[in-house]
Each structure stands twice: as structure tokens, then as C-alpha cells.
Amino acid sequence: DFFDIGFSNSSIGNTIYLSAPMIIRTLGTDSGSLGTPPANIQYLPPKASRSVSGSLLDLTGTRSLDVTNVSFDDNAQPTFNGSNNRIYIGQDLGLQNTSFSAEALVYWDGDSTDTFFGYYDTVTSGTQRSIHWRIYNTGQVRFDFYANSINSATGAIVANTWYHLLVTYDSTSDSCKCYRNGELLMQGSAGPYLGNDSDSKGYVGAWTPSSQPFGGEVPIFKLYNRALTEGEVKQNFAMYKKRFNI
């Protein structure tokens, strides 16, 4: 299972659909110019029907999400200014004490230490009650459960370059792995997320609404409800390698 968010300005209307591993992807535009951000986001429950092509069929039980704090370029692609842009992707993402994977296509501007995915308990703070996936200004990558993290060497990420990043967390062994462009970048013992899902909020483009805003682009983001295998990681990378000229 996964969440699927698509940005579109086509004839079907300016709607972002969120279904149930989490993806943010651009669908393009009919006119070639978005002009204004999409009008709304709708949430599709995990068991909603889908067509053979993956199209969303059933919008029963939708709810609105806020995308007013993110910018869009002429190709309807979300961009982050490193100051106050972010996408709120919802509360209760189902990461508490369980296996999951997260995947992102990232283009970092290199200006500062930036977080491109954050999830945190808004009521109780402390060790392992916050998740952040960030790039330091040295090019080091960190996936952190707050004081419990895995880290790459410096220079792992170069500014103004596309990367496919995917992290897996296996709750049976408390092991975390991060892949860069289909190859293992770092691994170690980390996790689980101990925050209360019902009190937690998630963002793409920031750790929290006021912490470590991301500068660059994150056109694709996914959250899976299990740890993907190495073969699945390579398969996913192959899907995007040509598209993003990685």
C-alpha cells in the first residue's frame, strides 16, 4: 500500500489526490503553465477502488489538506524556497512502532542544512518521537528518529543534482538502510518511531512548520507500510532514472 499525491492543472480540474507505501508526483499541465497552486487536496481511503491504469475511482470519505505554503513552477512541479515553503501531508501517517519505507526524488540547492521530510509528535517531545530526513550543508545525508539516526559520509549529495533516495526501516530488527540511486548508501540500528501517530504531523519540505525548510525540488515522495527489498529499491530507481537523467 502507498499514498499517491498528484499535481495537475488538466481538464479534470486542479485537484491533488491522496490515496493509500506516499507519493508526490507531477502530472503535467494542458497549457504548460500552472499559474496558481492546485485548488485543493482530497484524501482517498486505502480501500477505495482503482482502475486497471491506477486511476482513482472512489472519492468517498475525502478530506481537505493545506497546500498554500508551497510554490509551483510552470510545469506544475512543487518547488521549495528554503524559507517558508512546505507541504502538509497529514496527521497519523501510521509510522508508530512499525516497519515502513520512504522514497523521494530530490534536487537540493545546497544553500543550507535542509530537511525534505519531517514527522513529529506535536504533544510529547523526546527521543524517537520525531523523524527527519535531511541533507546537511556538507552534503551529508541523515535519517533520524531524533537522537537515534543513520548518517552518510560528507559529500554524499552534491547541490543542483537529481537523486533518488529511499530509506527502509525494519521493525523486527530495528535496522535502517538508506539507498542513493539504487545503491546502499548507509545502514545501521535505528528506530522505531515512538511518537503517537494520532498526535503526529508530517511535512514534505520541512521538519516542522518553522524548522529547517528545504531549498530545491521534491517532485516525488512516497511512504510505504513495509520495508522494501533491495530488488524493489532498484526497480523503483529504474523507473525514474531516465526521467530525471540520473
124-155 pLDDT tens trace: 988 999 999 999 999 999 999 998 999 999 99
pTM for the full predicted model: 0.77
In tens, the pLDDT along 26-38 reads 333 333 333 333 3
Q: What is the C-alpha to C-alpha distance for residues 223 and 2, in angstroms, rounded to an integer?
A: 6
Q: What is the pLDDT of residue 8?
A: 31
Name residues of the chain where pLDDT drops below 70.
Answer: 1-66
Q: What is the pLDDT of residue 222?
A: 85
Q: What is the C-alpha to C-alpha distance for residues 127 and 241, in angstroms, rounded to an integer?
A: 36
Q: Which helix (H) or strand (E) holds 234?
A: helix 230-241
Q: Answer whether 213's CB lies under 8 Å from 83's CB.
A: yes
C-alpha to C-alpha distances, 29 to 8, 50, 78, 228, nearest whole angstrom? 6, 22, 13, 32
Q: What is the pLDDT of residue 66?
A: 64
Q: What is the pLDDT of residue 20?
A: 35
Q: What is the C-alpha to C-alpha distance for residues 244 and 246, in angstroms, rounded to an integer?
A: 5
**Cβ burial, residue 196 (10 Å; 0-12/13-18/19+):** middle
